[in-house]
Amino acid sequence: MPNTADTGSDAPIDVTPLLDDPYTAYAALREAGPVHRITGADGNPAWLVTRYDDVRRALADPRLSLDKKHAAPGGYRGFSLPPALDANLLNMDPPDHTRIRRLVGKAFTPGRVEALREPVRKTADELLDAMADRGRADLMTDYAGPLPMTVIYDLLGIPYRDRRDFLAWSNALFTPDPSRPELMKEAIGAMLEFFTGLIAAKRAEPGDDLLSDLVAVRDDRTGGEDDGAGGERLTEDELTSLAFLILFAGYENTVHLIGNAVLTLFDHPEQLRQLRHDPAEIPSAVEEFLRYDGPGPLSIRRFPKEDLEIGGVRIAAGESVLLSIASANRDPARFTDPDTFDRGRDLSGHLGLGHGIHYCLGAPLARMEATIALEALLGRFPGLRLDVPRGDLRHRRSLRSRGLISLPIAF
């Protein structure tokens, strides 16, 4: 791959190797230079940052904005959502980001996450019960997918009667049909209408769920939005967008964390054997899964609020900047022998869940879900194995998400 950062060429590099064999391609890019010009998912040029030190610094650099108002005119065309779903933490800087994260923290407490532990374990056991008599299954559709979706149902307090429709809309968002782009648009419209109605229902009759807590934060006049007392609360669009973000981030990342972890264990059978016999080691293994082959190869795009340098490369204000978590976590300058799966390594500072003020708000929940999913799976099926040749497996062709399309297993 040419080093466009050093040559000064404006021609973006070919991203096909990043889709076909990402870790080999990222290694070549890191060696060639710290920052490269690519074509982003929206079809426009973007700067890709690949080395650990640069990525970590950039993740915490306040000059790099998540707010799309700082994008150069005509230079960014991202995933389009209606305003009522777009006013979320992935598009905000301080002070709005600080305000909303503080308010959400009042509802997204460690106690609420801990209260989900037994329901998550119960759901995992029920999913495994349904698979057990068949002797084989697709881990992605039969286990890794339904588990976090059920958790989100319970977390948001989505009624059982609505869950089938909700799952259909979610599938249209997470696994879109390229031949029918209208399905995604329809799903977004239906989901917006659903969340609007669900919030109204929680306002009229609160439940013991996160969405009811967020509605209470939204409506709390003791700390109201611009109420003259210096208090804060959520706007209605922010409330709806948060519900959508919890779905989007909480589902997709956890699904692929579980799937990638199981595939990694198939590739390392001795590690699989050790974790089966010592499940107390699974929580620490989850940290290495996040580093070694995490579900989020890129952080959310950023826009410089002023001209700046990253890795000695000058980047103009408003240009799109993509920070490669996947590349940073395999950087030999930070992690010894980074392409080896090693549960015993020093994992402090891995970037699998981000860094800085935008560190993943749902990190404790994701860790807990992945740990329970693996404990239950390895404990139930001692003969767990891959049910197809390794070369038949296919990952989704995406720069943004790292996950398997299917993972056939036998037991």
Whole-angstrom Cα distance, residue 348 to residue 346? 6
Q: Please say whether the beta carbons of 175 and 229 come within 8 A.
A: no
48: number of Cβ within 10 Å: 26
The residues that bridge with 386 in the sheet, in sequence order, are 409
Whole-angstrom Cα distance, residue 34 to residue 30? 6
In sequence order, the 6+-apart residues with CB closer than 8 A to the CB of 350 are: 287, 290, 291, 329, 335
Dihedral sign for Cα 185, 159, 369, 122, please.
negative
Domain 4-410 has CATH 2.40.50.140: no
User: Is 70 exceeded by the pLDDT of residue 257?
Assistant: yes
Q: Please say whether the beta carbons of 53 and 35 come within 8 A.
A: no
User: Is 90 exceeded by the pLDDT of residue 311?
Assistant: yes
Instruction: State whether residue 28 is helix, strand or coil.
Output: helix
Which tens digits make up the pLDDT trace of 177-194? 777 878 888 988 998 999
Lowest-confidence region among 1-5, 70-74, 165-169, 293-297:
1-5
The domain limits of the chain are: 4-410
| DSSP letter string, 159-204 | -GGGHHHHHHHHHHHHS--TT-THHHHHHHHHHHHHHHHHHHHHHH
Instruction: State whether residue 2 is helix, strand or coil.
Output: coil
Q: Please say whether the beta carbons of 351 and 359 come within 8 A.
A: no
Whole-angstrom Cα distance, residue 225 to residue 231? 6
Higher model confidence: residue 167 or residue 346? 346
Whole-angstrom Cα distance, residue 87 to residue 53? 30
Q: pTM (2 decimals)? A: 0.91
Which tens digits make up the pLDDT trace of 134-147? 999 999 999 999 99
Q: Please say whether the beta carbons of 409 and 136 come within 8 A.
A: yes
Pairing of strands 35-39, 385-386: unpaired
Closest by Cα among 27, 112, 14, 15 to 398: 15
Closest by Cα among 285, 290, 307, 291 to 70: 307
The residues that bridge with 308 in the sheet, in sequence order, are 315
Confidence of residue 228 (pLDDT cuts 50, 70, 90): very low
Average pLDDT over residues 113-119: 89
Strand 408-410: give its sheet, edge to edge. Answer: 136-138, 408-410, 385-386
Q: Which two tokens stand for residue 92?
A: 């905000």
Higher model confidence: residue 111 or residue 239? 239
User: What is the predicted pLDDT for the residue at 6?
Assistant: 45
101: number of Cβ within 10 Å: 17
Average pLDDT over residues 354-380: 95
User: Is 90 exceeded by the pLDDT of residue 298?
Assistant: yes
